[in-house]
Amino acid sequence: MNSFCRRHMLQTASSGFGFLALSGLTQAAGADLTARPPRQQARASRVIFLNMSGGPAQLDTFDYKPQVGKKPHPGSVVDFKRRGQSGVWVSDLLPNIARHADKLCVLNAMHADTSIHAQSMLQLHTGDRLRPCPSMGAWVAYGLGTENQNLPGFISLNTAKPAEYSAACLPPVYSGTPIGVNGEDMRFATLADVRGDHLPLQVKRRQLDLIQAMNHQHLASRQDDQQLEGVIKTMELGFRMQTAAPDLLDISQESAATLERYHVGKSYAAGTCKASDFGRQCLLARRFCEAGVRFIELNHGSWDQHTDHRRDLHANCASTDAPIAALLDDLDQRGLLEETLVVWGGEFGRPGLTPGDGKDQTGHNHRAFTFWLAGGGVKPGFTHGRTTETGADCAEGKVHFRDLHATLLHQLGLDHENLAVVQGGRRIRLTGLQGGTVVKEILA
């Protein structure tokens, strides 16, 4: 049977193994997700990345600048308080995250290369704002594999663009498995369940065995066909994943109290902000974390708010505050936070408000914005870096995306300088040609 017929069979057969969300049909020989020990001492085993797409306003969340925004909008200024024993500044819009102030490591002097959404988001994910490169989740899976051989090393929830979870020049088995793409309602986001009543599991296993037998027969006549060997490996992973993922995606056995803490099913929207069941993502992240997935990305969009900024900011904070706090609660109480590095932030930040038609208006600021980390061996209750009086630029403790990447890999026991591949004569790594610097000041 020729390759076209096999491909057609994979597409049309009810099992659909070859066209599962895994994009590994061209996987290189020898690439796999076997758990690998870190190359150096590690403080974290996994990462949960809370991607706030669109540019969250740092002056209204974690970077307190009382003199900014008071005029010409009296009474509209977001109040801040020092929280916990550490005294970390957190906005009143985030009262639940504020409870965890003593766990947060706030980076108030982040900066990037551009204020263009797509380019800066690509740089945040891959280290390069122009060329397709592996996502940081793909690099983590490449370096460490997965702790659960029935699941991928990298899962991306509610993903906007494939470039953000791509393996690019790495074997595609390391790419992120997307669940709930392009704003799909997370209640219905799932992978095919091989245990469903369409066909029994044993029948689907026999289907795969037949397909694999043909693939092995074809491989025998083609020496060192890496793509075909990759097909065979990836299809087996796809089958194993289909047996494990449905259980993890099924939250019906969670208690009513848990669903309430995570605000599962609750949506908040205002103006241009989309309603988002972000709580479901946070709960799924905890479950995938417990199951041994190395890198889990959550996505909350709609932070790209220019007019009616305050109104939309309130909606975004309301939709993310309680779920993130519940996730931190559970990770801490279950003993997972110490080895899980939680990362919060977006592609850039926003300057102060400007007057316009009686509405709050704001723009983009890539020169100074805020991220925060928790767990995974970073200093808790700590603020690193400082911005200028207006928050427009970094004053001290600057951290570029490349430095953030170097630090994340370091905490996972990976050396950002040596975690690299060569493609077309170019040495590709997450921190790029310019490299990054591990931010040792924030490490516990």
Q: Kindly list the structural domains of the chain, giving each domain's residue range(s) and its CATH number in brackets, ordered by start.
A: 1-30+193-252 (no CATH), 32-187+265-442 (3.40.720.10)
Cβ partners under 8 Å of residue 191, min gap 6:
20, 21, 177, 179, 241, 242, 245, 246, 249
| pLDDT, tens digit (0-9, with 9 covering 90-100), for 169-196 | 998 889 898 888 765 667 766 554 433 4
Mean pLDDT by 10 residues, the chain (444 residues): 43 36 37 83 97 94 79 57 97 97 98 97 96 95 91 88 91 86 65 49 78 82 71 71 77 94 81 72 96 95 84 90 97 98 97 65 92 98 95 96 98 96 91 94 98
- Calpha distance 24→436 (Å, rounded): 29
For the full predicted model, state whether its pTM sits above 0.75.
yes
- pLDDT of the residue at 275: 60
| Share above pLDDT 90 across residues of the chain, in percent, rounded to a whole number | 56
Closest CA relative to residue 88, chosen from 70, 108, 68, 69: 108
Question: What is the pLDDT, as a whole number, of residue 358?
Answer: 53
4 exposure class (CB count in 10 Å sphere: 0-12, 13-18, 19+):
exposed
Look-up: residue for tokens 């908040």? 268
Q: Report the chain's terminal Cα–Cα distance, integer Å.
A: 58
Q: Residue 422 gets which letter from DSSP?
A: E
Per-residue pLDDT, 30: 46
Residue 24's φ and ψ, nearest 5 degrees, are -100, 30
Over the Cα atoms of the chain, what is R_g?
22
DSSP category for residue 101:
G
**Which residues 6+ apart lie within 8 Å of 52 measured at CB?**
300, 303, 316, 320, 344, 345, 346
| Alpha-helix runs per DSSP H in 88-161 | 95-98, 117-126, 136-144
DSSP 249-294: H--TTS-HHHHHHTTTT-----TTPPP--HHHHHHHHHHHHHHT-S
Q: How far apart are alpha carbons 338 and 76 in whole angstroms?
A: 38
Cβ atoms 46, 293 nearer than 8 A: yes
